[in-house]
């Protein structure tokens, strides 16, 4: 299972899910975008650790969705990216994953949001 977490473009994985990915899932220091080890970094902050605008984040989510579609043999454990330290609204972020492929499993905290969008998703639990 590939652990999908919110990162920053500088790849400074210092706290939260990013720190977990660095310590346990093969994320690489100073690599803030993409697949590394058993992790996939989606930036929600820029190189200066400032929260990105939703359009920029949506571009990165689109890149992730493309990667997940091209790797149907992998399963992706998607955390609530951007909803912790970046301070973004979970509804805004969950909307970006509405068209994610079936090999993506989501934090169960997003289940009510996906139901609101009338899409069926699979869930894995929640990240502390």
- The range of the structural domain enclosing residue 38 comes to 2-125
Q: What pLDDT score was predicted for residue 128?
A: 82
Q: What pLDDT score was predicted for residue 99?
A: 96
- Residue-wise pLDDT for 5-50, tens only, equals 999 999 999 999 999 999 999 999 999 999 999 999 999 999 999 9
Asked if 76 and 68 touch (Cβ cutoff 8 Å), the reply is: yes
Taking only Cα atoms into account, the Rg of the chain, rounded to an integer number of angstroms, comes to 13
Q: The CATH number of the domain where 26 resides is what?
A: 3.40.220.10
- Residue-wise pLDDT for 71-106, tens only, equals 999 999 999 999 998 999 999 999 999 999 999 999
Q: Give the total number of structural domains in the chain.
A: 1
CA distance 112 to 102: 18
């Amino acid at each position: 299972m590939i652990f999908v977490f919110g990162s920053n473009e500088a790849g400074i994985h210092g706290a939260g899910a990013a720190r977990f990915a660095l310590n346990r899932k093969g994320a690489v220091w100073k690599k803030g975008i993409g697949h590394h080890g058993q992790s996939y970094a989606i930036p929600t902050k820029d190189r200066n650790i400032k929260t990105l605008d939703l359009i920029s984040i949506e571009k990165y989510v689109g890149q992730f969705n493309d990667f997940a579609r091209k790797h149907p043999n992998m399963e992706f454990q998607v955390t609530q990216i951007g909803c912790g330290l970046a301070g973004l609204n979970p509804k805004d972020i969950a909307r970006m994953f509405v068209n994610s492929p079936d090999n993506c499993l989501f934090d169960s905290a997003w289940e009510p949001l996906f139901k609101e969008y009338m899409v069926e998703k699979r869930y894995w639990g929640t990240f502390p």
